Chain A
Amino acid sequence: MVPILETKNLTMDFGGLRAVDNINFHINEGEIVALIGPNGAGKTTFFNCITGVYKPTGGDIFIAPDGTHSERINGLKPNIVTEKGLARTFQNIRLFQNMTVLENVMIGRHCRLSAGILGAILRTKATLAEEKKVVDDSYEILEEIGLTKFANEFAKNLPYGAQRRLEIARAMATDPFLLLLDEPAAGMNPQETKELDEMILHIRKNKKISILLIEHDMSLVMSVSEKIFVVDYGKLIAEGTPDEIKKNPEVIKAYLGDETDA
């Protein structure tokens, strides 16, 4: 078994600033892995490199959706990366505000559909069938995430927690093998965080999607993830199980000390 996602010496420089510094990372099929670190440590930049938003300045990224054949995906465009089965959410919510909740999810389905301009104008049988299917599929995802009551609302009118969940629903609609969540619990209340916790476990179990999670909420990280990677100033400073990380002196010094003991 090769890891479904692996980075080797991944590096990203912004001018003189090295935001991601030689990170070696891997996640296996079916795992929930957390990436933690203080603000500005380079976590989001790491996501952006993997998903093609930035072209990394050094190192390699490999994916192996089927668990056997590795493929290098450095510098591919974000939409190609998504087609290959990596889907993400954004730390600062980036929903399509003036589209309905259902339409947001339908956009997620886009890369799995094929209707073209002629099909749309002529409303061919195939196009109509596809359109009906995309509505049904999207609705099913909303059911799963518990957003059906908002289906025809504009995304911008949703409560905050629901917007975060819609980001996840939209990402799931792309049929990923790996879901990358960037601080999904940010701004959520404890109740919402608990629901998110259950949702993440549910997604992994029912959809067979592996999950990579950036998170600040330590209780969430500790309860759902099997493995944790810790970054600080762009460097990987520790990796291991939640218990190992809790005890790691370097991590405590860099990060956990302030957060959990407070």
Chain B
Amino acid sequence: MSNLVKYFSLKEIKKSLVITLWFMVLTFPIMVIKVNTIENTVIWRWGYLAIIAIGSFILSTLWRYMMERKSLQAGKESKISLQQKLREMGEKNPRLKRGALAAVVVLVVAYPFATSMYQTGIMTTALMYVVLGLGLNIVVGLGGLLHLGYAAFYAVGAYTYALLHVHFGIGFWVSLPIGAGLATILGILLAIPVLRLRGDYLAIVTLGFGEIVRIILENWNDFSYGPSGIANIPRPTLFGIHFKLQQATIFIYFIMVALVVFTIFIVRRLENSRMGRTWIAMREDEIASQSMGIDITKTKVTTFAIGAFWAGMIGVVFAAKTTFINPASFTLWESIIILCIVVIGGMGSIFGVVVGAGILILLPEYLRAFSQYRMLLFGAILVLMMVFRPGGIVTNVRKVYRIDKEKTGEAE
């Protein structure tokens, strides 16, 4: 409270006033003066100036207040993450945990029956992005390799199913592992040339890679049917049963629920394994991890390969869900959305990715009214995140190992 009061001190108000003045001067030409070139008159919009003055005064005060609070918090390091709180609550009260879990299960199962087909479709998309986010999270969040071509693996999965269907009549369930497998192989192939690259350079090369894949799909007509894409891809069947549209939508929803559970299960086991530790060590310091006996080549290849696996898998589901694919679905924008899910949700955190996918995929759907400002909001959110919560919404907590030894006395 005391530092809030500080913000109404004369000095702070003066600072804000200076900033406000600057804003008024800077925006004066575009916001206030309006030249009507036909009648050769100038309209002075003084009202706008007042709005800018009030707006920038409030915003600058707020901004500096937030910055102050942030620097205060940085010293304390007492940020208990949401995840930690939930976990602690569950440990203290196992019945509550079981109850919450049961509620989630009921909610997930009932969702498609309680809502419309449209809503189910949106939720399925969100679930797909959860898996994509988890996959990219292995590369970016855990491995620390900035990867901007992730959509290429997604495309590989989708085209695998579409082409296998067109040429050989192979179904969804067989294509699922094949798509994931081919994406994995492509992941390995990409990892080899970029072994020596890091940071910005890696980002540029992976970006180029993603575009190359898309451009190939767009131009190699004989192979991929070019920009017109492939239509009439069958939806998934169950033991040979074909569903009607509505049932199929629900069925795909449940497939995605199962795949999300499967992915979380595997990723959790991997990230706390011997291999997962090497990913994080590589992110933290490549030279040190090499000097600790980690084969950095192998580690890079495994992050790319395992990351690509999930994109390939979801690509197959995507083709089956939309029944039509073309290269326009796999642009750089797609890679960036998935990257934002990882970054905004919280790098390296599974729960964070789930939250990130929820925010970035579901919110725009429900805020259609603001769709004009989507990009603007997106950019603003990213900038604010970088300033105030660079670790993402959910900050990752490392596993706490329990040492069950008799002699836990301090060695010091």
Report A's interface with B, CB cutoff 8 A. 51, 53, 77-79, 82-83, 87-88, 90, 94-100, 102-103, 106-108, 110-113, 115-117, 119-121, 123, 127, 130-131, 134-136, 139, 142-149, 151-152, 154, 157, 170-171, 174
Contact = CB atoms under 8 A, between A and B. Distances in A.
A115 B278 CA distance: 12
Return the 3 tightest CB-CB contacts between A and B, nearest first. A111-B293, A120-B273, A96-B284
A90 B288 contact: yes
Contacts of B412: 146, 148-149
Contact of B411 (A110, A142, A157): A142
Contacts of A112: 293
B11 interface: no
Q: Is the interface of A mostly helix, strand, loop or mixed?
A: helix
B411 A151 contact: no
Contact of A106 (B266, B270, B277, B289): B277
Interface string B287-318: 11111111110000010001000000000000
24 contacts: A53-B290, A78-B290, A79-B294, A82-B290, A82-B291, A87-B291, A96-B285, A98-B280, A99-B281, A103-B277, A107-B281, A107-B294, A110-B294, A116-B275, A120-B269, A121-B266, A127-B273, A139-B405, A142-B411, A143-B411, A144-B411, A149-B412, A151-B401, A174-B293
B403 A151 contact: yes
A140 B253 CA distance: 49
B186 to A, nearest CB: 18
Contacts of A102: 401
A167 to B, nearest CB: 9
B410 A107 contact: no
B43 interface: no
Contacts, number: 133
B293 A82 contact: yes
B402 to A, nearest CB: 8
B85 interface: no
Contacts of B290: 53, 77-79, 82
Interface string B261-278: 000001001100111111
B398 interface: yes
A107 B289 contact: yes
B291 A135 contact: no
Contacts of B88: none
A152 B266 CA distance: 24
B38 interface: no
Contacts of B398: 98-100, 103, 152, 154
B403 A136 contact: yes
B39 interface: no
A240 B373 CA distance: 74
A131 B269 CA distance: 12
Given A120-B269, A121-B270, A96 B291 contact: no
Contacts of A135: 401, 403
Nearest to B296: A79
A88 B405 CA distance: 29
Given A96-B280, A96-B288, A110 B293 contact: yes
Q: In the complex, which of the residues B278, B296, B401 has the most CB atoms of chain A within 10 Å of its own CB atom?
A: B401
B277 A107 contact: yes
A108 B296 CA distance: 14
Contacts of A131: 273-274
A136 B411 contact: no
A97 B293 CA distance: 18
A108 B401 contact: no
A190 B107 CA distance: 62
Interface in B133-164: none
A108 B403 CA distance: 18
A120 B281 contact: no
Contact of A152 (B276, B287, B401, B408): B401
Q: In the complex, which of the residues B273, B285, B292, B411 has the most CB atoms of chain A within 10 Å of its own CB atom?
A: B292
A132 B344 CA distance: 34
A99 B403 contact: no
Contacts of B281: 96, 99, 107, 110
Contacts of A94: 285, 287-288, 291
B77 interface: yes
B400 interface: yes
Nearest to B407: A143
A63 to B, nearest CB: 15
A33 to B, nearest CB: 20
A120 to B, nearest CB: 3
Given A120-B275, A121-B270, A135-B403, A98 B410 contact: no
Contacts of B275: 115-117, 120
Contact of B291 (A51, A149, A151, A157): A51
Q: In the complex, which of the residues A53, A120, A144, A149 has the most CB atoms of chain B within 10 Å of its own CB atom?
A: A120
Contacts of B408: 148
A107 B278 contact: yes
Given A103-B398, A123-B269, A154-B398, A115 B280 contact: no
